[in-house]
Structure 1
């Protein structure tokens, strides 16, 4: 059932309630019954399917036996953002998709059990890890998202003195600011940040590297740097009317809902351009802010959309409509400079001769108008080129090149992980993959410079 509302007076409090977490956590009885369904497979396929390699049978067995702290530790040890991933991972494509019970009954609800264990740790204010004895080495992490936090946590456990630089007011990256509250409450991400901070990692928020602190200063001050800056803004559509009032960047738009709820969308008609996870987040946020109609406009078909299946289903349940094979050609404004319509063109898909993705081609004379009051752009994100260039790193259009085993960049003292290296055949941009890369980069640093002191005294 959709959440579409009429434009009658809606108090902000009721809009705020729309942003409460949608999915309830498991109750203890349910969690124990589900845990007991697990076969605790030897050589379990669910472990192989988890990008961070969580020992899933082990954490589930610990729930069954009542060892909740041990369960949370098993999860968070492998995945420093395990509480977030319990909520946002495409589990049906990963661990649950690999569960052997898919063939006979239904898979174990691994994501839900993971949330049950980590929620217990949060509620009971558990400190799960301790820092390692100092190895005399220092590391700077640039960016406090999943990759940066994971690298920071692992390095602290290896005995490094770690300082993390974060441009925003709080660390956590997309987990804190870019994933809608009704799927991931901010407090979950901030607990993961706190777990890292409690290991003695110094987190300097509101600090932009390359602006507030110089690149050369970092190279001089620290033995090693991990670049985990993620991505930047949504790019321009390159069409007429983008400067009108009522045109939004999806990343900024979702972020704004994390801190305050606006009444500006009540009764409005909204077009979201794009079909990735951020586009779905922008569309479902619009519905929850009281929009009367929300359409996602995408130049390809449903088969090519990059949003996860569960995201697409979520949008449909919220009453979001879809304009497939449709590309925006101009945004039309009224006399006051407000958005009043979006002109679109019908597209057809043409096979790519090189075997790549099918190309959308405009159909001549097919222009039509969608009457809308707001347009939200969600067509991917640009790269942080100025900083990458200041660091002097080898990159392809802003995708930093790394050794895929060590995560070393073209400067051997700088490692990179997460969205800054995703793309161009270097991994898929999931929170869980970014966390794993941060972990692997830290392990590689430890093997290269951290362990050296221990070996040579």
Structure 2
């Protein structure tokens, strides 16, 4: 057993990481699906979308072949509607709320229809929004992820000049660096960021890290307001013996390498164990398999009923050949010559519910041993607590406290996204950016946005 790269041919990599949700090939195909929509009054799909996209409206616009109007409707609520159409867990959001589910019929393919309109708009670089004249107000945003970019776009539409400070060399945040490559390609992420910036009034300064290249005090003195969209990103440790062995990696770093390097550059083992059952764990497991791992086993300390990922994601892992071991918790990693060779897990039973409402796993006293040469830790992510604390921002275990206007405990400093909620979906971060922009506009006494559909 060994960890190595260049396991597959270029054609095999391309096939394994091809778009998992192909778009509609043409207008005719989109029209067939769009015309299934019942255009519900008080539509549940709108209520289930964190950004409140008017789903019946944009689908109706597709049926009338008003693609520009459809894209405008989507982007008015969610400027990252193109990316969200690829990565949103729609089965528990808009499509999960579709009334067709009650009729035991297939729900409307809302995500594919959303992708159809937004892809055309982005590829044609349609200027769907016009920026108001500059107000002279300047806002700094830390983080060019979904929350930061969403906030920046709303502010820029209202004539506020925005400078975004991003620690990476590309924008997009989680979309660019933290999601499986077969869901959203790096090329699309770059196109989406460019489209958002095309409104003007937004400058991104890359390779700028808060606490290293820039300070919060500096931003406060140079700008009228500051928005923090720094996300989360510290991998939660297992705190078990052997965690330091070669071949033990965290899922965040593993996926980051896949996103930032060529597929053939990323090393993977023959037998891989993935610890966790969230969306990140699924992405790590499926991509390990697609990189050429012979065997991938996912280990989770609870049952399928308590898993944080969706059934759709779990089925994806199963279809890729990943094995699942339920009710097992890692207790030790052993190795040979400083390299991992075995993962020892305790079998578990479920006891009383914990603080989150899920039943707590309890050690059943037996041990399972897996022969592996790579262990990927996907036990969750933690906020940047030290960074938040050092800037004297009120928080709870690193998650920043904000009021109803997205304001932190420091006047003029706002925050949103994963750094506040601890880690939710991309679409939640987009809405947090909109909320932050609204709070900043109030703070700066700038007129609130009034969006009219001119299409």
State the TM-score, normalized to the length of structure 2. Answer: 0.92
Q: 1:134-149 residue pairs with structure 2 within 5 A?
A: 134-149=134-149
Q: Is the 8 A contact 1:326 1:344 kept in 2?
A: yes
Find the aligned partners of 1:141 and 1:450 in 2 and give their Cα distance. Answer: 18
1:444 to 435, 439, 443: 439
Displacement, 1:263?
6.3
Q: CA deviation at 1:333?
A: 1.1
1:269 to 268, 271, 289: 271
The CA deviation at 1:452 is 7.0
- The whole-number CA distance in structure 1 between the counterparts of 2:414 and 2:6 is 53
Equivalent residue for 1:4? none
Q: TM-score under structure 1 normalisation?
A: 0.92
Match of 2:307 among 305, 308, 312: 305
Matches within 5 A, 1:157-196: 157-196=157-196
Q: Counterpart of 2:339?
A: 338
* Change in CA separation of 1:147 and 1:316 when aligned onto 2, cut-off 3 Å: same
1:35-434 equivalences under 5 Å are 35-104=34-103, 105-198=105-198, 199-258=200-259, 259-262=261-264, 268-335=270-337, 337-352=338-353, 356-364=357-365, 366-403=366-403, 405-423=404-422, 429-434=424-429
- Contact 1:82 / 1:118 at 8 angstroms: preserved in 2? yes
- Aligned-pair CA distance for 1:176: 0.5
Query: Pairwise CA RMSD of aligned residues?
Result: 2.1
Q: 1:239 to 1:103 in 2, by over 3 A?
A: closer
Match of 1:130, SS state, is: coil
Provide the secondary structure at the position in 2 that maps to 1:127.
Answer: coil
1:320-348 residue CA offsets vs partner (Å, 9 max, x unmatched): 1111111111111112x221111111111
For residues 358-417 of structure 1, what are the alpha-carbon distances to aligned partners after superposition, in whole Å with 9 as ceiling and x for unaligned? 2111122x12310001000001112112321232110011010111x2111111211111
Cα distance 1:215–1:294, how it changes in 2: closer, same or farther (>3 A)? Answer: same
Contiguous gaps of at least 5 residues in structure 2 = 450-455
Q: 2-side partners of 1:169 and 1:406: how far apart?
A: 30
Q: Partners of 1:103 and 1:232 in 2: how far apart?
A: 39
Equivalent residues of 2:7, 2:264 under 8 A apart: no
Shift of 1:315: 0.7
1:3 matched residue in structure 2? none
Cα distance in 2 for partners of 1:202, 1:189 equals 17
Aligned residues: 441
Is contact 1:165–1:207 with CA below 8 Å preserved after alignment? yes
Structure 1 stretches of 4+ with a deviation exceeding 4 A read 263-267
CA distance in 1, matches of 2:151, 2:380: 25
Q: Distance in 1 between matches of 2:356 and 2:393?
A: 31
